């Protein structure tokens, strides 16, 4: 017999549930996750190297996990800061998922870690859809990528708690239009803070650490419009066990 069965389930419900569990588990251990998203080569590792050093200087216990499609170069760079670092090879998978992250933290994340920085796979599309249980989601763009990046990747920028511009030391050379960039960010994520940094020259270094610590200490984090959605469709989290009861049948 043919049936049409109402499932009414969020496709990424499993990831969302794992992210929820991980967030609660880490909160219990006093750790907050900072999820860093950007295109390949925007300068995530370079800025993180600086922020990890700054954290060490300030005696803030931090750790970093870097996800890469294939190489261990980023972890080697980050490890020079002296903080615990782990490289995760995704074997071609273009993003991290919460369950994978939890597996990698198990048995590695040192006790007492205040902040765990996660360098996601360089990609502005896929990682945006996966909550990693982070307290702060940061999307980065370098001045060389064009002011319209936020419009081309609206979910990556629209779901960010903080937007970071990198490589401002070469902004003049590439005629980066800061006002246009800010306006584009505002269009997809009204009210989000945008900070300007140059890992090369040290500009803005420490701001990311400050924002992350504030969030970890419970200061209110920006709430993006895109994350504030209230779909009208109801019972999104209906349990599939209820499926049979709701089946429409026809012979």
Partner 1 sequence: MHEMSVALAVVDQVAEAAGRAGDVTAVRSVRLQVGELAGVVPDALAFCFELVCAGTVLEGAELVTEAVPGRARCTPCAHEWAVGMPPRLTCPVCDGTGTELLAGRELQIVDVHWVDGGSPPAPAREPIPEER
Q: Find the shortest distance in angstroms from Cβ 145 to Mg ion.
A: 15
Among 17, 53, 89, 125, binds partner 1 (CB under 8 A): 125
Q: How far is CA 44 from CA 34, 35, 39, 65, in A?
A: 12, 11, 9, 12
Does residue 12 belong to the site contacting Zn ion (CB under 5 A)? Answer: no
Does residue 58 belong to the site contacting partner 1 (CB under 8 A)? Answer: no
Q: Find the shortest distance in angstroms from Cβ 176 to Mg ion.
A: 21
* Residues 95-124, interacting with partner 1 (CB under 8 A): 95, 97
Provide the β-strand partners of residue 203. 198
Does residue 165 belong to the site contacting ligand GTP (CB under 6 A)? Answer: no
Provide the β-strand partners of residue 85. 64
Q: Find the shortest distance in angstroms from Cβ 94 to Zn ion.
A: 3
Nearest alpha-carbon partner for 195 in 33, 47, 40: 47
Q: Find the shortest distance in angstroms from Cβ 48 to ligand GTP.
A: 8
* Residues 33-92, interacting with Mg ion (CB under 5 A): 44-45, 74
- C-alpha to C-alpha distance for 81 and 95, rounded to whole angstroms: 25
Q: Is 205 helix (H, G, I), strand (E, B) or coil?
A: coil
In sequence order, what E strands does 31-111 have? 32-37, 62-68, 85-89
Give the number of other Cβ atoms within 10 Å of residue 194's Cβ: 18
- C-alpha to C-alpha distance for 35 and 233, rounded to whole angstroms: 29
Does residue 170 belong to the site contacting ligand GTP (CB under 6 A)? Answer: yes
* Residues 96-135, interacting with ligand GTP (CB under 6 A): 122
Cβ-contact 131, 19 below 8 angstroms: yes
Q: Which is nearer to Zn ion, 190 or 202 (CB)?
A: 190
Does residue 1 belong to the site contacting partner 1 (CB under 8 A)? Answer: yes
Contact map string, positions 55 to 84, toward ligand GTP, x by CB under 6 A? -------------------x----------
Give the number of other Cβ atoms within 10 Å of residue 50's Cβ: 20
Give the number of other Cβ atoms within 10 Å of residue 30's Cβ: 12
* Residues 80-99, interacting with Zn ion (CB under 5 A): 94
Q: Find the shortest distance in angstroms from Cβ 194 to partner 1.
A: 14
Among 30, 191, 210, 217, binds partner 1 (CB under 8 A): 191
Among 14, 20, 29, 80, binds partner 1 (CB under 8 A): 14
Q: How far is CA 177 from CA 7, 174, 196, in A?
A: 47, 9, 12
Q: Find the shortest distance in angstroms from Cβ 50 to ligand GTP.
A: 9
Does residue 245 belong to the site contacting partner 1 (CB under 8 A)? Answer: no
Q: Which residues of the shown chain bind Mg ion in the complex (CB under 5 A)?
A: 44-45, 74
């Amino acid at each position: 017999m043919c049936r049409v069965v109402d499932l009414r389930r969020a496709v990424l419900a499993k990831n969302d549930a794992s992210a929820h569990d991980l967030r609660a588990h880490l909160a219990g251990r006093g750790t907050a996750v900072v999820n860093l998203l950007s295109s390949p080569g925007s300068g995530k590792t370079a800025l993180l190297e600086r922020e990890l050093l700054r954290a060490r200087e300030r005696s803030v216990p931090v750790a970093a996990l870097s996800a890469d499609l294939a190489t261990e170069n980023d972890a080697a760079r980050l490890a020079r800061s002296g903080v615990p670092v782990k490289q995760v090879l995704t074997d071609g998978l273009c993003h991290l998922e919460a369950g994978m992250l939890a597996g990698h933290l198990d048995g590695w994340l040192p006790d007492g870690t205040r902040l765990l920085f996660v360098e996601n796979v360089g990609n502005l599309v896929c990682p945006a859809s996966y909550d990693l249980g982070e307290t702060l989601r940061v999307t980065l763009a370098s001045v060389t990528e064009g002011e319209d990046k936020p419009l081309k990747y609206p979910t990556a920028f629209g779901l960010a708690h903080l937007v970071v511009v990198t490589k401002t030391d070469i902004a003049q050379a590439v005629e980066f239009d800061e006002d246009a960039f800010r306006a584009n960010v505002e269009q997809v994520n009204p009210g989000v803070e945008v900070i300007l940094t140059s890992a090369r020259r040290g500009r803005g270094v420490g701001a990311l650490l400050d924002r992350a610590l504030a969030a970890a200490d419970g200061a209110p984090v920006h709430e993006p419009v895109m994350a504030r959605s209230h779909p009208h469709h109801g019972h999104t989290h209906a349990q599939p066990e209820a499926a049979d009861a709701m089946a429409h049948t026809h012979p």
